[in-house]
């Protein structure tokens, strides 16, 4: 991932605000490379990066990658447009490891992967001799032993019978000597580690695996009760386990230490034909407004406006750590997306912006659509309190947390009004924009 020089300089200028470690101690902390899951992108690691920084980990020894095409193929051996094979993912990871080692001068790095992101990590360390350059491996909710064990779809990467998983899991141990392995998992709340095939598209059919599928023989295996699939990586609880495993001590805090003037940057990436990619979008117009936390109204003119170039970069923009924001993305071939966000307490280079996908057929009759999104976890009802526009959404599954987006479909009289979303203790207010103008509202939670 190429960094904007201005954003990097902004982060460097703010670095003295962090708790500083002695130089020798900083050098002893391995660089960490964070690897996202299937269909995802580096922005999901934003809060994790903030927590590491807030505990004194040097910001320039932390990096989150973006796979070009993050979605796995239906059959690992059969090419599909804008989807990646297990070898594609491994090659991109290996290049990122080499770049991080070269930039930091470190002999070894630590690797942390969520879900599918654990596969190229294990591929590199177990099958390609990468242990010599990897000190620690943390897999977070990775279906290490498959999502299912079926004769059907045997070529799919997530099948226990796939060539990749048979190669990774054929030995008595699933780790390698000299590299420390930690596998984080849920007790029974991970939708990709279920004995019933409901979440793999075949309800009532036994998967042949269970909640212990993410465990690794020979690793330190840790169960975090109640967490969902993404919370195995992006929650405060997961951060605590990563930090003490890699850093060798407990973190000082789980909260994020704010900076005086956060600098934000990232890329606009596209979803052509509804396929999630991390390919940059050129010619996207991005505007950033400060808005009222109470009703989402704009507080003055745009504080930032830029048209993306070939690299898709939309920033940098300097904000305050208590500003609610509306980020408007007008990207060719996508709906105009009005993304409402709670304050960014710290700088980030991974504020990646994916324009909203076009409305589904069932949503096109609405005058306005508000998508209430939780990218770093799923909504679990009744585990969580989830309210959108004053009511519990009826389109979210009950039981095992499996939905990350709730939708409010609004009549014409609600256009321009405030719509509040509540997830436990995080509240976010957005404004409804007219669907007839090809505009969609996204209220995106931070935590």
The answer to whether residue 155 scores a pLDDT higher than 80 is yes
What's the whole-number mean pLDDT along residues 3-16? 42
Average pLDDT for residues 405-418, to the nearest whole number?
Answer: 98
pLDDT at 87 over 70: yes
Q: Are 288 and 392 in a shared domain?
A: no
Q: Is the pLDDT of residue 18 over 90?
A: no
Domain boundary among 227, 247, 267: 247
Tokens 């969902």, located at residue: 228
The set of long-range contacts for 80-86, using a CB threshold of 8 Å and a minimum separation of 24, is: 81/275, 82/272, 82/275, 82/277, 82/279, 83/275, 86/119, 86/120, 86/123, 86/157, 86/164
Provide the β-strand partners of residue 441.
338, 370
Mean pLDDT of 399-405: 96
Boundary-marking domain end, from 330, 358, 386: 358
Q: Report angle CA 91, 112, 325 to the nearest 5 degrees.
A: 100
Residue 146 predicted with pLDDT over 80: yes
Q: What is the pLDDT of residues 295-315, one digit of tens each?
A: 999 999 999 999 999 999 999
Q: Are residues 191 and 161 in the same domain?
A: yes
Inside any domain, residue 220: yes
Give the pLDDT band of residue 406 (cuts 50, 70, 90).
very high
Summarised one tens digit per residue, pLDDT across range 117-136 is 999 999 999 999 999 999 99
Bridge partner residues of 298 (DSSP): 291
Residue 91 sits in the same domain as residue 190: yes
Mean pLDDT of 402-429: 98
Q: Is the pLDDT of residue 5 over 80?
A: no
Categorize the per-residue pLDDT at 272 as very low, low, confident or very high, splitting at 50, 70 and 90.
confident
My answer on whether 121 and 54 are in the same domain is yes
Q: With b meaning 16 or more CB within 10 Å and e meaning fewer, what string describes 381-412?
A: bebbebebbeeebeebeeebbbbbbbbbbbee
Cβ neighbors of 333 (< 8 A, separation 6 or more) are: 270, 272
Confidence of residue 48 (pLDDT cuts 50, 70, 90): very high
Does residue 350 register a pLDDT over 50?
A: yes
Identify the pLDDT of residue 37. Answer: 98
Residue 3 forms part of a structural domain: no
Rounded to the nearest angstrom, the gap between the alpha carbon of residue 247 and the centroid of all alpha carbons in its chain is: 22
- Which CATH number is 296's domain given? 2.60.40.2190
d(CA 317, CA 14): 14
- Residue carrying the six token digits 């003490």: 244
Let me know whether 158 and 54 are in one domain: yes
Domain span holding position 292: 257-358
Q: In this model, does residue 434 exceed pLDDT 50?
A: yes
Question: Does the structure show a pLDDT above 90 at 273?
Answer: no
Same domain, 77 and 213: yes
Same structural domain for residues 119 and 163? yes
DSSP 26-95: HHHSPPEEEE--TT--GGGGHHHHHHHHHTT--GGGEEE---SS-SBPSSTTS--TT-B-HHHHHHHHHH
Query: Which long-range contacts does 389-395 make (Cβ < 8 Å, 24+ apart)?
Result: 389/419, 389/420, 389/421, 390/420
Cα distances (angstroms) measured from residue 334 to each of 66, 71, 231, 355, 357: 21, 19, 29, 6, 7
| Alpha carbons 399 and 401: distance in angstroms, whole number | 6
Question: Does 215 reside within a domain?
Answer: yes
Boundary of a domain, candidates 326, 358, 390: 358
- Total domains in the chain come to 3
Higher per-residue pLDDT: 98 or 275: 98
Average pLDDT value for residue range 341-357 = 97
Same domain, 277 and 210: no
The set of residues, in sequence order, having a beta carbon less than 8 Å from that of 267 and lying 6+ positions away, is 66, 278, 280, 308, 311, 312, 313, 314, 352, 353
Report pLDDT digits (tens) over 193-214. Answer: 999 999 999 999 999 999 999 9
Instruction: Give yes or no for a cis peptide into 401 (omega within 30° of 0).
Output: no
Cross-strand bridge partners of residue 405: 373
The interaxial angle of helices 46-54 and 236-247, nearest 10 deg, is: 50
Same domain, yes or no: 315 and 202: no
Its pTM surpasses 0.85: yes
Report the C-alpha dihedral over residues 144, 150, 152, 153, rounded to 10 degrees. 0
**348, part of any domain:** yes
Report residue 2's pLDDT band, with 50, 70 and 90 as the boundaries. very low
Q: How far from the centroid of its chain's Cα atoms is residue 439's Cα?
A: 24
Measured CA to CA, the distance from residue 79 to residue 98 in angstroms comes to 26
Residue 135 included in any domain:
yes
Q: Residue 238's domain is classified under what CATH number?
A: 3.40.50.1820
Say if residue 74 is in the same domain as residue 180: yes
Answer yes or no: is pLDDT of 271 > 90.
no
- Quick one: pLDDT band at residue 26, thresholds 50, 70, 90? low
Structure confidence at residue 27 (pLDDT): 64
274 occurs within a structural domain:
yes
What is the bridge-based pairing of β-strands 285-291 and 304-307?
antiparallel
Residue 284 lies in a domain: yes
Task: Say how many residues make up the chain.
Answer: 447
Cα 381 to chain center, whole Å? 21
Give the pLDDT score at 274: 77
Instruction: Note whether residue 4 is domain-resident.
Output: no
211 and 322 co-located in one domain = no
For residue 61, pLDDT beyond 80: yes
**Whether residues 340 and 367 fall in one domain:** no
- Across the chain, mean pLDDT equals 94
Question: How do residues 210-246 score in pLDDT, each as one tens digit?
Answer: 999 999 999 999 999 999 999 999 999 999 999 999 9
Question: What is the percentage of the chain residues whose pLDDT exceeds 90?
Answer: 91
């Amino acid at each position: 991932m190429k960094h904007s020089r201005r954003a990097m300089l902004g982060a460097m200028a703010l670095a003295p605000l962090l708790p500083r470690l002695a130089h020798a101690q900083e050098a002893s902390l391995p660089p960490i490379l964070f690897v996202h899951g299937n269909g995802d992108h580096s922005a999901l690691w934003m809060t994790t990066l903030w927590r590491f920084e807030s505990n004194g980990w040097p910001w320039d020894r932390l990096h989150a990658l973006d796979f070009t095409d993050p979605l796995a193929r239906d059959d690992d051996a059969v090419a599909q447009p804008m989807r990646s094979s297990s070898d594609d993912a491994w090659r991109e990871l290996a290049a990122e490891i080499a770049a991080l080692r070269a930039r930091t001068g470190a002999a070894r790095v630590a690797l942390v992967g969520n879900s599918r992101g654990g596969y190229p990590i294990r591929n590199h360390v177990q099958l390609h001799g990468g242990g010599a350059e990897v000190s620690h491996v943390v897999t977070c909710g990775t279906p290490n032993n498959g999502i299912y064990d079926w004769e059907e779809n045997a070529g799919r990467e997530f099948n226990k019978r796939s060539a990749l998983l048979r190669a990774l899991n054929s030995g008595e141990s699933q780790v390698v000597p000299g590299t420390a392995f930690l596998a984080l998992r849920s007790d029974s709340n991970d939708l990709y580690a279920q004995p019933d095939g409901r979440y793999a598209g075949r309800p009532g059919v036994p998967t042949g695996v269970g909640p212990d599928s993410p465990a690794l023989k020979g690793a330190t295996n840790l169960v975090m009760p109640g967490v969902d699939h993404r919370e195995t990586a992006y929650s405060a609880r997961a951060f605590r386990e990563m930090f003490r495993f890699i850093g060798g001590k407990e973190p000082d805090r789980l909260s994020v230490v704010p900076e005086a003037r956060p600098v934000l940057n990232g890329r606009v990436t596209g979803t052509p034909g509804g396929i999630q990619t991390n390919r940059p979008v050129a010619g996207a117009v991005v505007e950033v407004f400060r808005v009222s936390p109470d009703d989402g109204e704009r507080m003055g003119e745009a504080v930032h406006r830029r048209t993306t170039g070939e690299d898709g970069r939309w920033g940098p923009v300097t904000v305050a750590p208590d500003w609610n924001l509306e980020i408007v993305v007008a990207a060719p071939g996508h709906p105009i997306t009005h993304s409402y966000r709670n304050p960014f307490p710290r700088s980030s280079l991974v504020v990646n912006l994916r324009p909203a996908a076009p409305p589904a057929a069932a949503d096109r009759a609405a005058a306005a659509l508000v998508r209430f999104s939780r990218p770093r976890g799923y909504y679990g009802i009744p585990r969580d309190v989830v309210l959108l526009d004053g009511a519990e959404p009826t389109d979210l599954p009950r039981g095992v947390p499996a939905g990350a987006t709730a939708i409010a479909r609004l009549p014409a009289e609600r256009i321009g009004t405030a719509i509040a979303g509540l997830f436990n203790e995080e509240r976010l207010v957005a404004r409804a924009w007219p669907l007839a103008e090809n505009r969609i509202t996204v209220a995106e939670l931070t935590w």
